[in-house]
Amino acid sequence: MAATEPGIPRSSTVEAGCPGIPSDAELGFCPIARAARLLGDTWTLLIVYNLADGPRRFSQLEEATGMSPRVLAGRLRELEGQAMLTRTQYPEIPPRVEYALTEKGIATLPTLEALRVFGARWLNGEESAGLDNRRTRQTVAALTG
């Protein structure tokens, strides 16, 4: 394996299975590393997951994810800056703001589904149960309810 970024190996096996997509060398960066930096945060994936079925208000996202308002606001700003979602403010009193996935955000949904399938198949044993308590205040019921 060769590296395109320090510490990030490049897989010629993976690249061979992606016809029509430029290689890491052609791109000049590792697309997996960049995608992981954007999507690799627990909260980001939960926001995208909760927007998959359509626009949501801030309070709905806060309730669904269990995130603090400060963290949620920061993640929403980051995702808006990366063109993953749009923020629409309506001229109403009280103010109403909705967030929705863009085409770029929608393009992440198959990846989210792949993570769900992986988790259901490979992370269902007792050895993986400890992962549920890492970096989240959210209960399993909130995710499945």
String of DSSP letters for 91-107: S-SS-EEEEEE-HHHHT
pLDDT at 35 (0 to 100): 87
pLDDT at 135 (0 to 100): 52
Task: Mark the ranges of the chain whose per-residue pLDDT is less than 70.
Answer: 1-19, 134-145
pLDDT at 129 (0 to 100): 82
Give residue-wise pLDDT tens across range 73-86: 999 999 999 999 99
96-101 vs 85-90, strand pairing mode: antiparallel
pLDDT at 95 (0 to 100): 87
Q: What are the structural domain ranges in the chain? A: 41-144
Asked if 56 and 50 touch (Cβ cutoff 8 Å), the reply is yes
Q: Is the pTM of this model over 0.85?
A: no
pLDDT at 126 (0 to 100): 83
CATH architecture designation of domain 41-144: Orthogonal Bundle (1.10)
pLDDT at 30 (0 to 100): 80
pLDDT at 12 (0 to 100): 63
pLDDT at 3 (0 to 100): 44
pLDDT at 111 (0 to 100): 92
Cα 141 from Cα 115, distance rounded (Å):
19
pLDDT at 22 (0 to 100): 76
pLDDT at 15 (0 to 100): 59
Cα 99 from Cα 13, distance rounded (Å):
38
In the numeric block, the tokens 């992440």 are attached to 108
Output b/e per residue, 29-61; b: 16+ Cβ within 10 A.
ebebbeeeeebeeebbbbbbbbbeeeebebeeb
